[in-house]
Amino acid sequence: QKEVEQNSGPLSVPEGAIASLNCTYSDRVSQSFFWYRQYSGKSPELIMSIYSNGDKEDGRFTAQLNKASQYVSLLIRDSQPSDSATYLCAVNPAGGTSYGKLTFGQGTILTVHP
Amino acid sequence: GAVVSQHPSRVICKSGTSVKIECRSLDFQATTMFWYRQFPKQSLMLMATSNEGSKATYEQGVEKDKFLINHASLTLSTLTVTSAHPEDSSFYICSASKMTGTSNTDTQYFGPGTRLTVL
């Protein structure tokens, strides 16, 4: 079983819709969770981090964490074609220590069509 | 901010030569930096963790004698691919964890990557 799992997609949504990206993880002691966006041929850029159960909102992005279900998601409201990218879920299995090593999912390809 | 740079952005070399890639945190100090490799249409693969002032920690299956890592300061880590071969052609990306006080946060900020092509 993979440590961090994402649906590889592609996920296709129309412009203006809500895109929902999901991620599950296997290590129950994980404490830190991250969403990165990666455009084709570019390196990942941080979108959001979340550490506590519940929702965290930043602009059009909302991260949701449910540690009991070992599930973290990212919602993108009012999706734009510029949001088309691969979204990587990352988990720190070490529980937020100074070591900081992350485990990445394989990424979900999102396509927003006009 | 949290800006990480890499140099060079792209390099083409002949088989058997060595290539050095630099990773710098421009506006923060990073005790720990990470080196990843990414093949087309695949996810990031962690190669090693670079710790300032100590030896790097390599992931299983990564040859430490082939991928030399030096973390000489709190803002610079280097990866040297020695005796490169065509199968080493890949996208190499570094990241850095931002220090807050005396310990790192666990947020990683990525450099723009270096695309290595070995002929």
Mind listing the pLDDT tens digit for each residue in B65-98? 999 999 888 899 999 999 999 999 999 999 998 7
Do B113 and A106 count as a contact with CB atoms less than 8 A apart?
A: no
For A18, residues 6+ apart whose C-beta sits below 8 A from its C-beta are A75, A76, A77, A78, A79
A-B contacts at Cβ under 8 angstroms: 58
Contact residues, chain A, for B25 at CB < 8 Å: none
Do B32 and A43 count as a contact with CB atoms less than 8 A apart?
A: no
Contact residues, chain A, for B105 at CB < 8 Å: 100
**Nearest CA among B19, B14, B37, B27 for reference residue B92:** B37
Report percent pLDDT > 90 for chain B. Answer: 71
Is A71 touching B (CB cutoff 8 A)? no
Q: Flag whether pLDDT at B99 surpasses 80.
A: no
How far is the C-alpha of A58 from the C-alpha of B115, rounded, in Å?
32
pLDDT in the model for residue A98: 40
List the structure tokens of B37: 């490799």
Do A44 and B110 count as a contact with CB atoms less than 8 A apart?
A: yes
**Nearest CA among A93, A99, A51 for reference residue B106:** A99
- What mean pLDDT is predicted for residues B32-52? 91
Do B42 and A106 count as a contact with CB atoms less than 8 A apart?
A: yes
Torsion of CA B103, B106, B112, B114, to 10 degrees: 80
pLDDT in the model for residue B30: 86
pLDDT in the model for residue A8: 82
Contact residues, chain B, for A94 at CB < 8 Å: 106
Handedness of CA B23, B29, B35, B36 (dihedral sign): negative
Mean pLDDT of chain B: 91
Contact residues, chain B, for A101 at CB < 8 Å: 34, 46, 49
Q: Which residues of chain A have pLDDT under 50?
A: 96-98
Is B32 touching A (CB cutoff 8 A)? yes
Is A100 touching B (CB cutoff 8 A)? yes
